[in-house]
Amino acid sequence: MTRLQRLFRIAWVFCRYRLDTFLPIAELPAPLKVFFLLAPWHLFPQPKLDRGDRLRLALEELGPVFVKFGQILSTRRDLLPDDMAESLKNLQDRVPPFPSNEARSIIETSLGAPVSDLFAEFSPDPLASASVAQVHAATLRNGQKVVVKVLRPGIEKVIRQDLALMYLMAGLLEKYWSEGKRLHPMEVVADYDSTIHDELDLQREAANASQLRRNFENSSLIYIPFIDWDYTRKSVLVMERIHGIPIADTAALKAAGVDMKVLAEKGVEIFFTQVFRDSFFHADMHPGNIFVDTSNPSDPRYIAIDFGIVGTLAPDDQSYLARNLLAFFRRDYRQVAQLHIQSGWVPPDTPVNQFEAAIRTVCEPIFEKPLKDISFGHFLLRLFQTARRFNMEVQPQLVLLQKTLLNVEGLGRQLYPDLDLWSTAQPYLETWMRKRIGPSGLIKSLQSHLPSWLEQSPEMPQLVHDALLQLRQAGPTEPQNRATLALLREQQIRTERRWRRATLAVLLIAGGFLGTQPESRQWIESVPAWSWALFAVAGGLMLRGSR
């Protein structure tokens, strides 16, 4: 019943704001065209509002899931007309607020004290209001200027209803649509379910902010405000108040003398740094969450807020993605095709030559062009057609990353339309790959894994011994089985010797390599002499045991 009620609610809003006028009815098949011409929304008068305002109000009325969708659309001026994109900008931080007395009640319940005792000053009028929460200006008793973020009351119920409907629709798509299994709609919705529930926990958001602040401490790229943990709970977050020009206010940025090319390039660098250096990225980078510090206009710095949604990548996905992007930037379409097959993103029997030719056909037209000259809508259409032709499966773990990339690309298009995204990103990725697989990457890997290897290496022979013991206890004792066990014991002895020799060889090679690298001298000198003595004794025992 809840799903049906929500479905009727969506249909009512659709009819009320006459969103049918956005549909390309003339291009639909004849049966669908007749259905739309006779549909019940024609009984509703068309509102005397601009089309952008109608879409914005409809999304606002439908709740946070739809508002998030509108926020993404607001940055896509290549996909939407300017008047609609301009209206949807209001969804970034000007969603209708809830009453301030409700905000005060939530703060007092969460922090266990009256607002007048907690803050020297508290503004009843919200600074900004978004789909999930709203923000009030305040001053702590020590004089620190802060903002207080308060979760919307009743927001969990609305989101549960929307998610229930999304699961229903995803299940129907997967069951009755031929493309359903390839697109993994249930997994995508489940991933979004986890993400949106994380956003409803402001303590989790505060933890995300603290991690990002550590990642970019003293950075000239971006500033992350500090969190006041004494005043932060699940429904309330208190954070340093920042001052800057909203990223969407390009007129103000230009009036302040900001170098827009540098700003756009820094945005690309921030994205790739978060994804590949840290594997921890701000995944809600719409313009309402980004400001600019213009104190040094020639070297501007981003300021980020709202850390409810962050993304991470598994090492395998991170590596495959980096290699794919580098091959793409170098126009090595064959490697792109092979990497897609190796990673399992397309079936293993995919013809490499055909897949390579299809990728080249889609990608070649957009190279060496600034963002303003790329038809992103046409590019996406061709990309989806290629994916469908080769049964390319949607990767749910990359959905957040794709959403973030859309936001970043949309911001770059607004800030500096002449930005060459490819030439900006390629050097960074090449540097990252060199660090990952070059000498410095090997040193870093050895430094991080060597203690673990040393701890685990003595256990390997014992694990083999335990497995043989269990086999002996569990199995029968016929002569053929006794012979099998004898053979296994002999193999165990050989395995132990080989393991000791291999481990010792790795340690000697690693030690010799580290000793020749200037980067490792500080680490080597910091190890006490007695540790090196024990290391030498252990090596001697291993050598003796390997004979």
> What digits encode the pLDDT tens for the residues 263-274?
988 988 888 888
Give pTM, 2 decimals. 0.67
Q: What is the pLDDT of residue 287?
A: 79
Is the CB of residue 9 less than 8 Å from the CB of residue 65? no
Q: Count CB-CB contacts under 10 A for residue 102.
A: 15
β-strand pairing of 222-223 with 145-151:
unpaired
In the 3-class helix/strand/coil scheme, how is 355-421 assigned residue by residue? HHHHHHHHHHHHCCCCHHHCCHHHHHHHHHHHHHHCCCCCCHHHHHHHHHHHHHHHHHHHHCCCCCH
Q: Which two tokens stand for residue 439?
A: 């000498």
What does the radius of gyration of the chain's CA atoms come to, in whole angstroms? 29
Angle at 237 between CA 232 and CA 241, to 5 degrees: 120
Model confidence pLDDT, tens digit, residues 505-530: 555 555 555 455 555 555 455 555 54
Model confidence pLDDT, tens digit, residues 27-63: 666 666 666 666 666 666 777 778 788 888 888 777 7
Q: What is the pLDDT of residue 159?
A: 78
Percent of the chain scoring above 90 in pLDDT: 21
Kindly give the residue spans of alpha helices, DSSP state H, lying in 177-241.
180-183, 185-199, 202-215
Partner residues linked to 281 by β-bridges = 311
d(CA 56, CA 51): 9
Percent of the chain scoring above 70 in pLDDT: 63
Is the CB of residue 186 less than 8 Å from the CB of residue 173? no
Question: Any binding-site annotation on 148?
Answer: no
Residue 120 backbone dihedrals phi, psi, to 5 degrees: -70, -35
Question: Any binding-site annotation on 189?
Answer: no
Question: Any binding-site annotation on 170?
Answer: no
Model confidence pLDDT, tens digit, residues 333-358: 888 888 888 877 788 888 888 888 98
User: Mean pLDDT lowest for which of 34-48, 278-292, 404-418?
Assistant: 34-48
Partner residues linked to 303 by β-bridges = 223, 291
In the 3-class helix/strand/coil scheme, how is 282-313 assigned residue by residue? ECCCCHHHEEEECCCCCCCEEEECCCCCEECC
First to last CA, the chain: 74
d(CA 92, CA 87): 10
Question: Any binding-site annotation on 128?
Answer: yes
Q: What is the pLDDT of residue 257?
A: 93
Strands (E), 123-187: 128-129, 133-140, 145-151
Angle at 24 between CA 23 and CA 28, to 5 degrees: 115
Question: Residue 201 in 3-state DSSP?
Answer: coil
Helices (H) and strands (E) counted in the chain, each on its own, are 24, 11
Q: What is the pLDDT of residue 23?
A: 64
The pLDDT of 119-132, averaged and rounded, is: 88
Q: Count CB-CB contacts under 10 A for residue 185.
A: 22
Cα dihedral 274, 279, 281, 283 in deg (nearest 10): 140
Question: Any binding-site annotation on 362?
Answer: no
**pLDDT above 80 (res 468):** no
β-strand pairing of 301-304 with 290-293:
antiparallel
Model confidence pLDDT, tens digit, residues 188-243: 677 667 777 777 889 999 999 999 999 999 999 999 999 999 999 999 999 999 99
Distances (CA, A) of 527 to 511, 512, 520: 13, 16, 11
Q: How confident is the model at residue 88 (pLDDT cuts 50, 70, 90)?
A: confident
d(CA 304, CA 310): 12
Model confidence pLDDT, tens digit, residues 415-431: 888 877 777 777 777 77
Average pLDDT over the chain, rounded to an integer? 75
The pLDDT of 449-470, averaged and rounded, is: 55
Residue type for position 460? M
Q: What is the pLDDT of residue 232?
A: 94
Catalytic residue among 78, 93, 162, 284: 284
User: Mean pLDDT lowest for which of 145-159, 179-193, 243-257?
Assistant: 179-193
Which of 5 and 257 is assigned the larger pLDDT? 257
**Dihedral-angle region of residue 344 (phi above 0 means left; psi in -120 to 50 means alpha; beta otherwise):** left
**How many Cα atoms within 13 Å fall on the side-chain side of residue 38?**
6
> Position of tokens 């250096």?
277
Q: What is the pLDDT of residue 77?
A: 59
Distances (CA, A) of 118 to 136, 241, 293, 420, 539: 14, 16, 29, 49, 62
Model confidence pLDDT, tens digit, residues 59-80: 877 777 777 667 666 655 555 6
Exposure pattern of 271-285 as b/e (b: 16+ CB <10 Å)?
bbbbbbeeebbbbbb
504 contact partners, CB below 8 Å, separation of at least 6: 539, 542, 543, 546
Distances (CA, A) of 157 to 94, 111, 280, 490: 22, 23, 29, 65
User: Mean pLDDT lowest for which of 87-101, 368-382, 391-405?
Assistant: 368-382
Question: Any binding-site annotation on 268?
Answer: no
> Position of tokens 């006459």?
18
Q: Largest Cα–Cα distance of the chain, in whole Å?
A: 93
β-strand pairing of 290-293 with 310-311:
unpaired
The pLDDT of 389-395, averaged and rounded, is: 71
Structural domain boundaries of the chain? 1-91, 94-241, 257-445
Angle at 128 between CA 143 and CA 89, to 5 degrees: 145
Q: How confident is the model at residue 301 (pLDDT cuts 50, 70, 90)?
A: very high
Which of 325 and 544 is assigned the larger pLDDT? 325
Is the CB of residue 88 less than 8 Å from the CB of residue 52? yes
User: Mean pLDDT lowest for which of 147-161, 482-496, 511-525?
Assistant: 511-525
d(CA 256, CA 245): 9
Q: What is the pLDDT of residue 182?
A: 61
Distances (CA, A) of 243 to 192, 200, 236: 31, 25, 21
Question: Any binding-site annotation on 127?
Answer: yes
d(CA 520, CA 537): 22
Question: Any binding-site annotation on 251?
Answer: no
Question: Any binding-site annotation on 408?
Answer: no
Is the CB of residue 212 less than 8 Å from the CB of residue 224? yes
293 is catalytic: no
Question: Any binding-site annotation on 313?
Answer: no
